[in-house]
Chain A
Amino acid sequence: MGVTPVVAGPPALRFLVADDDAINRVLLRALLEQAGHAVIEAGDGEQAVEAFARERPDAVLLDVMMPGLDGYEAARRIKALAGECFVPILFLTALGDEASLQRCIEAGGDDFLTKPFSRAILETRIRAALRIRDMAARLERQNADLRTHQARLAEEQRVAEQVFSRFVHHGCLRAPFIRYLASPVALFNGDLLLAARQPSGGLLVLIGDFAGHGLPAALGAMPVAEVFHAGAAAGYGIGELVAEINHRLKDRLPTGLFFAACLAEIDKDGRSLAVWNGGLPDVLVCGRDHPGPRRLVSRHPPLGVLPNERLDRRVERLGLGPDDRVYLYTDGITEARNAAGELFGSARLEMAVSAACCAGAFDLVRTALSAFRRDTDQQDDMTLIEIAPGRLPVTPFESDAREPRVYQPADWRVALEFDPQTLRQVDPLPVCLQLVMALQGLGEHRERLYVILAELVNNAIDHGLLRLDSTLKHRPGGFTEYYAARTAALAALTEGTLRIELVHTVHTRGGRLTLRVEDSGPGFDDAWLSAAGADAGESVLPSGRGLALVRTLASGLRRSGHGVEAVYEWC
């Protein structure tokens, strides 16, 4: 009568027993069956490999000396068949010398038993081998989980990257007046570089560096890019963008995660640069008249740190010459290290920028940087952009990629009045433009309408309300002076009203939009208005040039009471 298997013992296993000696096989079968296991027998190596392939047993007991295929070779083939799955092989050998035992292990055996062996020894060795097998099985399960997990993560990241790149499209970075380098250390870049044209034809650039990189940085980049592109398209300037981006980030990012950023705005004529620098290295401006770079240093803490009430959104302005170059970069450039651990540093960068002067230092910097770093590992994200403002195309009318939405022409009228306090806080242009878009669509007319309205509104504010002298702008360096005077005058303005009236009527197949702008000051100068009209193409005065441009876009331009009225027809 056999021994009853232990109730709580390990589950029954299937053993392959390979031995050319039938008595040994019977003996082993008896021992294993008494312990509750099942046994498959093989009389030689060949049969053992076949039986293994057919039956896939849980463990193998293998005699070394067998006719034909010996134990060593059988072990090798069985291990190859088992592949990733761990199947313990125990050699049964009469050979006790060290070399033979070593061969057992080298052939893929996991343990060996020297004949003759006792039942206790066999059971102990089997238990040890099974423990290894269980461990291997657990490891394999974990590996499989890990592989599945990794594959899912890679897939998620691929999709996330697609979504990300749609949100964070880089705008007009490929334009011919821009050169840039952006090299991420992670799939998602901790640095962000965005560029967009304003409806006026001006250029907006945002460069920034999120604390940390990878996923957290990428999450922060999405709202920033959204605000940037929407704001640029609506005609907002960097002051408004800074406030809106800061508000979003402060609201949503946890404390400690912030966005060191610099926003730059170049006017449509490439003559004036406005910069808000919060936590980035100095912006450098280089050109024929000042080969030693002029710089705009960080004046503000990074975005997402201060509440909006404490945020200083004032910008700094510089006048630009026709061959000036503007450089913005993140600290990944100056803090790039070479093999000796030295920093690339701002001195090397500025030397390259000065040496190249108005020829453009982009290639020089890139070459110097790669020569310096050779093949040291990149530590941080690196971003550098060079802008040649003198090459901004004169035509601001770049087609928008989005499908324009146009409503059926309708009759409507909107009138807005702005007092000095409102004018200090809000730019009236985007407000009006958004109203037109909301009421009539006209997305593809947005840039033209912006230019018309901008000319009229700026004229009303600057000359009507602030009484600024526009000839100031035409002197060298006058742009900066003019903006300073404008900022001071607007801050001091206590009374006056700017009135904007937008009237839309149905007209033949399309519509007619009348834009009427009026100020409480002396109003438009008749002489100025007629001078601009008399010589539309060749006006020597830049301000006259603006009005001449309005004449080419509008189907009518005339004085109206204390203001001026432009008519825009579309179909």
Chain B
Amino acid sequence: MVMVSQVQVFPEGDLVTIRINGHFGFPVYRQFREAYEPAGPARQYVVDLQATDYMDSSALGMLLVLRERAGGERARIRIVNCRPEIRRILDIARFGQLFQIG
């Protein structure tokens, strides 16, 4: 079976919701980047992982790049709807210190 990973974007004013379907990893790198540009501290982001069934370390890297593009320490990014396995990956990497999770 071929799984097609997909990134969906729902912009509402300054709030951008990015939903990742399937595997959150290197194959969606370009789509994910296109989803948040043009980035800056004026925009808020919600990364919705409800439909994400697998996530690897390149996804963590992509989240870090989003954080930097969205203003670094001033970035406003929420990661929501994590399944337990995905939550575990974020917890081991202690991403709660960098993002608002939940």
| Across-interface contacts of A279 in B (CB, < 8 A) | 92-94
Name the prevailing secondary structure of the B interface residues.
Answer: helix
Given known A-B contacts A301-B97, A301-B98, A305-B98, A257 and B61 have beta carbons under 8 A apart: yes
Given known A-B contacts A278-B94, A279-B93, A258 and B58 have beta carbons under 8 A apart: no
Q: A255, A260, A300, A302: which contacts B65 (Cβ < 8 A)?
A: A255
**Interface footprint category on B:** 10 to 19
How far is B61's CA from A257's CA once the two chains are assembled, in angstroms? 6
How far is B58's CA from A301's CA once the two chains are assembled, in angstroms? 15
Given known A-B contacts A258-B64, A280-B92, A212 and B58 have beta carbons under 8 A apart: yes
| Across-interface contacts of A256 in B (CB, < 8 A) | 61-62, 64-65
Whether the pair A298, B93 counts as a contact (CB closer than 8 A) is yes
Q: A211, A278, A298, A299: which contacts B60 (Cβ < 8 A)?
A: A211
Instruction: Give chain B nearest CB distance to A282 CB in angstroms.
Output: 9
How far is B90's CA from A305's CA once the two chains are assembled, in angstroms? 14
Whether the pair B93, A260 counts as a contact (CB closer than 8 A) is yes
- Bitwise, B57-74 to A at CB < 8 A (1) or not (0) is 110111011001000000
Whether the pair B94, A301 counts as a contact (CB closer than 8 A) is yes
Question: How many pairs, one residue from A and one from B, have CB atoms within 8 Å of each other in the complex?
Answer: 48
Considering only residues 245-281 of chain A, those with a C-beta below 8 Å from chain B are 255-258, 260, 278-281
| Across-interface contacts of B97 in A (CB, < 8 A) | 300-301, 306
Instruction: Give chain A nearest CB distance to B34 CB in angstroms.
Output: 16
B65 to A, closest residue via Cβ: A256
How far is B98's CA from A281's CA once the two chains are assembled, in angstroms? 19
| Across-interface contacts of B65 in A (CB, < 8 A) | 255-256
Whether the pair B58, A302 counts as a contact (CB closer than 8 A) is no
Whether the pair B68, A260 counts as a contact (CB closer than 8 A) is no
Instruction: Give chain A nearest CB distance to B25 CB in angstroms.
Output: 11
Given known A-B contacts A255-B68, A256-B65, A300 and B94 have beta carbons under 8 A apart: yes
Whether the pair B57, A298 counts as a contact (CB closer than 8 A) is no
B61 to A, closest residue via Cβ: A256
Instruction: Give chain A nearest CB distance to B13 CB in angstroms.
Output: 26
Whether the pair A301, B61 counts as a contact (CB closer than 8 A) is no
A-B contact pairs, 12 of them (CB 8 A): A211-B61, A212-B61, A255-B65, A255-B68, A256-B61, A256-B62, A257-B61, A260-B57, A260-B92, A279-B93, A281-B92, A306-B97
Name 12 extra pairs, CB < 8 A, besides A279-B92, A298-B92.
A209-B57, A211-B58, A256-B62, A256-B64, A260-B57, A278-B94, A279-B94, A298-B91, A298-B94, A299-B94, A300-B94, A301-B97
